[in-house]
Each structure stands twice: as C-alpha cells, then as structure tokens.
Amino acid sequence: MDGTARLPPGGGRSAPALDVSDVRIQGDTASARVTRPGVDATIHLRREAGVWKVCEPADGELSATASRQP
C-alpha cells in the first residue's frame, strides 16, 4: 500500500435516498422523475451503444404515448 487513503465515491458520506417514478421509455430515449428532500426533477436519458446516459431533453422524441414502467 502506498499510504494514500482511498475513499468510496462521495467521500464516504451517504447520499440521501432517491425516489424514481414516472419512468417513460420510447425506443432509445427515456425520462424519469427523481425526487429527494429538496429536489424534484425530471431527468432525460438516451441509449448509446446499449448504455443509458443522462442527456439534454429529447424534445419531440419522447411523446405522451411512451410506455410507463412500474
């Protein structure tokens, strides 16, 4: 060991629990509502090479007819 302290992501602090709801998937785009104390946001994702990545809103690509996941 080189004497360097190794901390887990977040510096060893626990992050507040997240609640994920209203997940909508249509093809390679998706959105989900994420809440935790003091935060209420919708995140947008895009599947690139089989991996989901957070991205800017995909206006026009995620319609109201997207499937809802439980």
pLDDT band at 12 (very low <50, low <70, confident <90, very high): low
**Dihedrals phi, psi of 16, to nearest 5 degrees:** -60, 150
pTM: 0.59
Query: Using only C-alpha atoms, what is the Rg of the chain?
Result: 17
Q: Which residue has the higher pLDDT, 2 or 44?
A: 44
Residue 10: predicted pLDDT: 61
The model's pLDDT over 34-47, given as tens digits with 9 standing for 90+, comes to 998 888 999 999 99
Question: Does position 57 have pLDDT exceeding 80, yes or no?
Answer: no
Rounded to an integer, what distance in angstroms lies between the CA atom of residue 4 and that of residue 63?
Answer: 49
CA atoms within 13 A of residue 68's CA, in its CB half-sphere: 7
Q: Is pLDDT at 1 greater than 50 in this prediction?
A: no
Task: Report yes or no: 54 and 68 within 8 Å, Cβ to Cβ.
Answer: no
